[in-house]
Amino acid sequence: MYKYDNYDQTIVDERVAQFRDQTERFLAGKLTEDEYRPLRLMNGLYVQRYAPMLRVAIPYGLLSSDQLRMLAHISRKYDKNYAHFSTRQNVQFNWPALETVPDILADLASVEMHAIQTSGNDIRNTTSDQFAGIAEDELEDPRPYCEIIRQWSTFHPEFSFLPRKFKIAVSGATDDRAAVKVHDIGLYLVKNDAGEVGFNVIVGGGLGRTPFIGPSIRPFLEKQHVLSYLEAILRVYNRFGRRDNMYRARIKILVNDLGKEEFTRQVEEEWSHIKDSVLKLDQKEIDRVKGFFTSPDYDKNAADDKSFDEAEKSNKAFSNWVKRNLFTHRVAGYKAVVVSLKAPGIAPGDATDEQMDHIAALADQYSYGEIVVTHDQNLVLPNVKRADLFSLWEKLAEKNLATANIGLLTDMICCPGLDFCALANAGSIPIAKQINERFDDIDYLHDIGDLKIKMSGCMNACGHHHVGHIGILGVRKKDEEFYQLTLGGSAEKDACLGDRLGPSIAKEEVANVISKLLDVYVEQRQDEERFLDTYRRVGITPFKDRVYPKTAVKEKAYANN
């Protein structure tokens, strides 16, 4: 993974000093609350419903075991012994005291971490595929480009006060595991007819109140132009993105208002001026950064192991976990292991200090000391030998980290919701709990198979509900929590937004309604169809009829007239 040199370390150290000074000036009354707010926000510090929340950047989700141990230490020393991993591959602490935040940042800097641009109207953490570097379907490792973008965007003098926040995702694989098309800028590594690798540039995707799947504005961009092209896009956005209404300020609105053609024309025009400037990347620099993302020294005999097959045959619980929590590795005899942070009764994405220490130790023992945060709020140990899988599973199970539910109904994406967030209209975590209590039969969950439930406590859509196979959106009616369901969304290469099922439902009904939807699926599915496939084939009507029988009759009668 990327290692800081003196330059990188100096920047994070100086940031700690700067934020310490800003916080001291605030505490001494030299900065007003209004003046301090944007400064703390540029450092990931929010003031939430009950306490401040500090968001720490995990560039493209990649952590070393030492970094994970530091997160455990911070949660112990400054917080309530746990941390929350977010859909942007970051980590959040929910209870730090404001005056201790400079110390937390200093601790983070000691392990090459920071909270720079984890909030504010600036370029946020660049996210990527959790299986980058090890996936079989990968054209090229996207992480060197993420790191190049991280450095370019850090304290960018021109783009630190944009109309709104700005998120970039990069994927190098055939399957999109990074929700690229719902980012402000999404980059897919692709090959052109001449066999060169470059980027397909997607702009203007996003969720929130006005969701869009982003269009491609340049199907092939040579690698050395990636920064100049990003700069051209950002410059058009900084000049012309709306600033009069924060809900209309994201780049997706600009792209949609101008139209893809006109937006592209403006970007290309701007780009023509700066394309061959100092922004043009040297191949030497690309190679230098690539040099940090090398493969470990894999065991050539790893595939010879026989113990794994035997354990799988003889142990049902292990075999369930094998079915769901392993991902194919490009090297024979290795697997990527998904550590589930979705055990029943736990807020999705939360890990305790003990669990983090435990995972760090297991990463050292079994996976070359690296851990990856996934955008669906789990952790990955990317390089585990077949022969080690059984003992790893046993050890994960000791700390409640071996729930065999990856990609299943209970592997929900969930925002912090009303329990923590000042913006939320409704709870998310209690709904996750309700769903977990209702669907606690592992055989049933495995029978239902792949199902992405995504849940947000308000229309800002931090839980990506629009692109869930089943999306759940918390709303508030007469001071009570209700939930609006959508069906058929996807955040992958076939990205699309879910369709609204019908009127919102009462809080206590959510699990019941999901159960009805699953009944329809089980009745209708053919062969190996996933829930999403069946939905796409049969449409929304049978699901609607089951959940809202009377309304459905009325609507039909109306349609017949």
Partner 1 sequence: MQIIKDKKVCDDDWVIVRELDDAAPIPEGNVILPFSYWQANREELLKQDSAHAAWIDGDIETKELSGELEHFSIIGLDFPAFKDGRSYTHARMLRDRYGFEGELRAIGNVLRDQMFFMFRCGIDCFEVSEGKDAEEALKSFNDFSVRYQAAADDAVPIYKLR
Say which residue the tokens 């209690």 belong to: 430
Q: Please give the structure tokens belonging to residue 330.
A: 């490009």
CB of 23 to partner 1, least distance (A): 12
Neighbours of 167 (CB within 10 A): 20
Q: By CB under 8 A, tell whether 159 contacts partner 1.
A: yes
Q: 41 or 380: whose CB is closer to partner 1?
A: 41
Site for partner 1 in 112-151 (CB under 8 A): 121, 151
CB of 158 to partner 1, least distance (A): 5
Q: Which member of 278, 314, 398, 478 binds partner 1 (CB under 8 A)?
A: 278
CB 247 within 8 A of CB 204: no
Q: By CB under 8 A, tell whether 285 contacts partner 1.
A: yes
Pairing type for strands 168-171 and 185-191 reads parallel
CA dist 360 and 366 (Å) reads 10
Q: Which residues partner with 379 through β-bridges?
A: 339, 373
Q: By CB under 8 A, tell whether 434 contacts partner 1.
A: no
CB of 263 to partner 1, least distance (A): 16
CB of 208 to partner 1, least distance (A): 18
- Which residues are within 8 A (CB) of 182 and not within 5 positions of it... i.e. 6 or more apart? 205, 206, 207, 211, 212, 213, 214, 464, 466, 467, 491, 495
Q: Please give the structure tokens belonging to residue 544.
A: 């609607």
Q: 30 or 300: whose CB is closer to partner 1?
A: 30
Span interacting with partner 1, options 257-265, 282-290, 376-384, 504-512, rule CB under 8 A: 282-290
CB 172 within 8 A of CB 138: yes
Q: By CB under 8 A, tell whether 235 contacts partner 1.
A: yes
CB of 440 to partner 1, least distance (A): 47
CB of 248 to partner 1, least distance (A): 14
x/- map, 392-421, partner 1, by CB under 8 A: ------------------------------
Q: Which member of 49, 80, 242, 243 binds partner 1 (CB under 8 A)?
A: 243
Span interacting with partner 1, options 157-165, 252-260, 357-365, 519-527, rule CB under 8 A: 157-165
The DSSP letter of residue 217 is E
CA dist 477 and 255 (Å) reads 33
CB 120 within 8 A of CB 165: yes
Span interacting with partner 1, options 13-21, 137-145, 309-317, 363-371, rule CB under 8 A: 13-21
CB of 60 to partner 1, least distance (A): 17
Q: 116 or 470: whose CB is closer to partner 1?
A: 116
Q: Which member of 50, 161, 247, 292 binds partner 1 (CB under 8 A)?
A: 161
CB 149 within 8 A of CB 88: no
Q: 267 or 487: whose CB is closer to partner 1?
A: 267
CB of 155 to partner 1, least distance (A): 7
Q: What is the CA radius of gyration of the chain?
A: 23
Tell me which residue of 402, 296, 295, 395 sits closest to 344, measured CA to CA. 402
CB of 220 to partner 1, least distance (A): 24
- Report the side by side order of strands in the sheet with 334-339: 62-64, 370-373, 379-385, 334-339, 326-328
Element (H, E) at 137: none
Q: By CB under 8 A, tell whether 258 contacts partner 1.
A: no
Q: 251 or 379: whose CB is closer to partner 1?
A: 251
Span interacting with partner 1, options 49-57, 154-162, 211-219, 250-258, rule CB under 8 A: 154-162
CA dist 430 and 3 (Å) reads 40
Q: By CB under 8 A, tell whether 500 contacts partner 1.
A: no
Which residue type is seen at 270? Answer: E
Q: Please give the structure tokens belonging to residue 227.
A: 């920064």
Q: b vs e for 36-57, b when ≥16 Cβ sit within 10 Å of the residue's Cβ?
A: bbebbbbbbbbebeebbbbbbb
CB of 533 to partner 1, least distance (A): 45
Q: Which residues partner with 336 through β-bridges?
A: 327
Q: Which member of 154, 171, 355, 377 binds partner 1 (CB under 8 A)?
A: 154
Q: By CB under 8 A, tell whether 157 contacts partner 1.
A: yes
Q: By CB under 8 A, tell whether 7 contacts partner 1.
A: yes
Tell me which residue of 205, 204, 176 sits closest to 190, measured CA to CA. 176
- Report the side by side order of strands in the sheet with 127-128: 127-128, 168-171, 185-191, 197-203, 216-222
Q: 6 or 560: whose CB is closer to partner 1?
A: 6
Q: Which member of 86, 89, 200, 238 binds partner 1 (CB under 8 A)?
A: 238
CB of 550 to partner 1, least distance (A): 49
Element (H, E) at 379: strand 379-385
Say which residue the tokens 């009127």 belong to: 503
Q: By CB under 8 A, tell whether 38 contacts partner 1.
A: yes
Tell me which residue of 331, 335, 326 sits closest to 297, measured CA to CA. 331
Count interface residues toward partner 1 (CB under 8 A): 34
Q: 238 or 484: whose CB is closer to partner 1?
A: 238
Q: 125 or 377: whose CB is closer to partner 1?
A: 125
Site residues, partner 1 (CB under 8 A)? 5, 7, 10-11, 14-15, 18, 22, 35, 38-39, 121, 151-152, 154-163, 235, 238-239, 243, 273, 278-279, 282, 285, 288
